Amino acid sequence: MKLNIFNTADEVLTALADYFVKIAQESISARSRFTVALSGGSSPKKLYELLASTSYADQLDWTKVFFFFGDERNVPQDHKDSNYLMAKKALFEPLLISPANVFAVDTTFEPAEAAQKYGEIIAAFFDEDEPSFDLVLLGLGDNSHTASLFPHTPVLHDTKPGVKEVWLEDQQVWRITLNAPLINEARYIAFLVYGEGKAIAVHHILEDAEDIDEYPAQLIDSITGEVEWFLDEAAAANLEERE
């Protein structure tokens, strides 16, 4: 695990955009394609806008980039809460990404079926024993969830890579998520976390004793690659160890 801590959120976003391009270029050189699972929520929108800006857009052959989603809300794809819609507006449309390069969760199905079908889509794409994304981007909720691995949900105890539906009792909503074993197969995993509202959760994940039901992001630990955290000072404020 590597910590990258910057003074401001803008510096964090630039560092992660540089990292994204570096991993993508390496992956395209090595395997002629780059597969990435995107995070949702509010934090990554600015990252996607930055990647689509003139500073970054020309640095990659986007026809070789294949986009998946680490998690999705159980809403139509044109709903304001849809992770797909956010990425479409911030990234896919500005970069003229072909729909053939975007693999979204089909939320027209019931949650369990949507999860199963998304797992099948991922397996078919990779056509290997174990699907392995080149990069999984993750965020962190102030309740220590990442992707849609929420505290005290059954998916936290999965032992085989897969995609699952998750019922959030307090919000009375379903979500669809990659489970931790699938995320951990990735070559690289990067957390994007900024803002003081995340400081307590960052401390729990990185410095508290393991308690995955309480702090699900503690499950993330790449099997073959590297986990990097991109934090601003505000989000890192409660950390005791910086190395």
Ligand X SMILES: O=C1O[C@H](COP(=O)(O)O)[C@@H](O)[C@H](O)[C@H]1O
Report, in Å, the least distance between residue 37 CB and ligand X: 10
Which range in 98-106, 107-115, 140-148, 219-227 contacts ligand X by CB under 6 A? 140-148
Residue 49: its H or E element:
helix 44-51
Q: Does 162 bind ligand X (CB under 6 A)?
A: no
Helix, strand, or coil (residue 124): helix
Report, in Å, the least distance between residue 58 CB and ligand X: 27
Q: Does 144 bind ligand X (CB under 6 A)?
A: no
Dist CA 184 CA 178 (whole Å): 10
Q: Which is nearer to ligand X, 74 or 148 (CB)?
A: 148
Which range in 57-65, 90-98, 100-108, 144-152 contacts ligand X by CB under 6 A? 144-152
Dist CA 206 CA 226 (whole Å): 15
Closest CA to 146 of 154, 133, 136: 136
One-letter identity of residue 83: N
Buried b (16+ CB within 10 A) or exposed e, 57-81: eeebebebbbbbbbbbbbbeeeeee
Which range in 57-65, 100-108, 143-151, 215-223 contacts ligand X by CB under 6 A? 143-151
Judged by CB under 6 A, the chain residues 16 through 75 that form the site for ligand X are 39-43, 70-71
Report, in Å, the least distance between residue 8 CB and ligand X: 17
